[in-house]
Structure 1
Amino acid sequence: MAAIPPVCDFGWRAPDFSLPATDGRMLSLKDIAGPKGTLVMFICNHCPYVLAVLDRIIRDARDLIGHGVGVVAISSNDAAAYPQDGFDAMKTMAEARGFPFPYLYDETQGVARAYDAACTPDFFGFNADLELQYRGRLDASRKEAGPTDLRRDLFEAMKQVAETGRGPTEQIPSMGCSIKWKTA
């Protein structure tokens, strides 16, 4: 069943984190933050919603980096229950797909909880002051990639954030697989 995150809470401050990256580094929010904004994406290796648009996520991330936006992807799924989302598999995917952004592992799920991440993909777009300005979809794709000429909602919103510091007032939430939480 698809999960849908809440609408954007404008001005909400990005929680800090320090997580291992697939390239061997430990990275924090300040290491990721761009001069004109920051995009924090919750994704994973196995979600059909992510896999359907992964090429578009990579394209938009690359283009946003060119606009001064720092970009990071975080996987928070329970790797014991979903081994394909484990750290070694993350390394393989990041390398094979040529991720232009760091791919971080949130093993404790503390970062996903701090962000109140709901699904994969879940996009959090912050301005240069790390205030939330976008929490919407990549584009109108769902479990299958839509036509290639779809409006690039995430890219357009984050480009606006980079240029003005403010996100669009009208946002359509992302949709995807729920975060696979560990059982207590």
Structure 2
Amino acid sequence: MVALNPPVCEFGRPAIDFSLPGTDSRIWTLADCRGPNGLLVMFICNHCPYVRAIIDRLLRDCRELQGLGIGCAAIMSNDTEAYPDDAFPNMQRWARELDFPFPYLLDADQSVARAYGAVCTPDFFGYNAGLTLQYRGRLDASGKNPAPADAPRELFAALRKIAETGRGPSDQHASIGCSIKWRET
């Protein structure tokens, strides 16, 4: 496991369209996932200790963001042959067990992760209503540790600001997580 930090936010970069199968047996596109006030695209996976450490808070935040008109979508791009814990049936089971309030999508050929420039799990991309990038940061300061009860909700606050103003905060802290498991080329 190599911990990586993604690069800082490229403000204004447009969201990249996709068409990916969800754990609900439906094909999802960018247009299907967006909300009237924006979109949060998350690159996550089942086995990453960083994702597992934040998943409950992430689910809470996504439920609340949807109430603010921010759509949410999670994309799993790891090589499932090398990492079978992330295979589609396991994605389906985890999404069902945790009652994901967003589509959980499989990027089997890893093209969507490459197009977005995703580097780790979790990697968060927050877009405004015009689908231009306004946030690329962390959920909060916890990393893979339990978060203190008073941990500021950085991702939630940033996306709430985007929903209200169309702009993300200028001060953003990079996420940290396990590297995306790229297929050998």
1:113 and 2:91 are equivalent in the alignment:
no
Counterpart of 1:101 in structure 2 is 102
- Secondary structure (helix, strand or coil) at the match of 2:52 reads helix
Using the alignment, how far apart are the partners of 1:16 and 1:55 within structure 2? Answer: 27
Q: Alignment identity in percent?
A: 60
- Secondary structure (helix, strand or coil) at the match of 1:59 reads helix
Using the alignment, how far apart are the partners of 1:122 and 1:145 within structure 2? Answer: 18
The residue type equivalent to 1:73 in the other structure is A
Counterpart of 2:180 in structure 1 is 179
Using the alignment, how far apart are the partners of 1:180 and 1:121 within structure 2? Answer: 12
Counterpart of 2:5 in structure 1 is 4
Using the alignment, how far apart are the partners of 2:150 and 2:105 within structure 1? Answer: 30
The residue type equivalent to 2:130 in the other structure is D
1:13-24 matches, cutoff 5 A: 13-24=14-25
Unaligned runs of 5+ in 1: none
Which whole-Å deviations, capped at 9, do the CAs of 1:46-87 have from their partners, x for residues lacking one?
000000010001000000000000000000000000000010
Using the alignment, how far apart are the partners of 1:55 and 1:68 within structure 2? Answer: 20
- Secondary structure (helix, strand or coil) at the match of 1:71 reads strand
Unaligned runs of 5+ in 2: none
- Secondary structure (helix, strand or coil) at the match of 1:13 reads coil
Counterpart of 2:47 in structure 1 is 46
1:116 deviation in Å?
0.4
1:142 deviation in Å?
1.1
Using the alignment, how far apart are the partners of 1:36 and 1:9 within structure 2? Answer: 19
1:143 deviation in Å?
1.7
Counterpart of 1:158 in structure 2 is 159
Using the alignment, how far apart are the partners of 1:32 and 1:66 within structure 2? Answer: 14
- Secondary structure (helix, strand or coil) at the match of 2:20 reads strand
Using the alignment, how far apart are the partners of 2:132 and 2:124 within structure 1? Answer: 14
Using the alignment, how far apart are the partners of 1:57 and 1:146 within structure 2? Answer: 12
The residue type equivalent to 1:56 in the other structure is R
**TM-score w.r.t. length of structure 1:** 0.99
- Secondary structure (helix, strand or coil) at the match of 2:42 reads strand
Counterpart of 1:90 in structure 2 is 91
Using the alignment, how far apart are the partners of 2:123 and 2:111 within structure 1? Answer: 16
The residue type equivalent to 1:28 in the other structure is T
**TM-score w.r.t. length of structure 2:** 0.99
1:148 deviation in Å?
2.3
Counterpart of 1:128 in structure 2 is 129
Using the alignment, how far apart are the partners of 2:150 and 2:20 within structure 1? Answer: 35
Q: Considering only aligned residues, what root-mean-square deviation do their CA atoms show, in Å? A: 0.5
- Secondary structure (helix, strand or coil) at the match of 1:151 reads coil
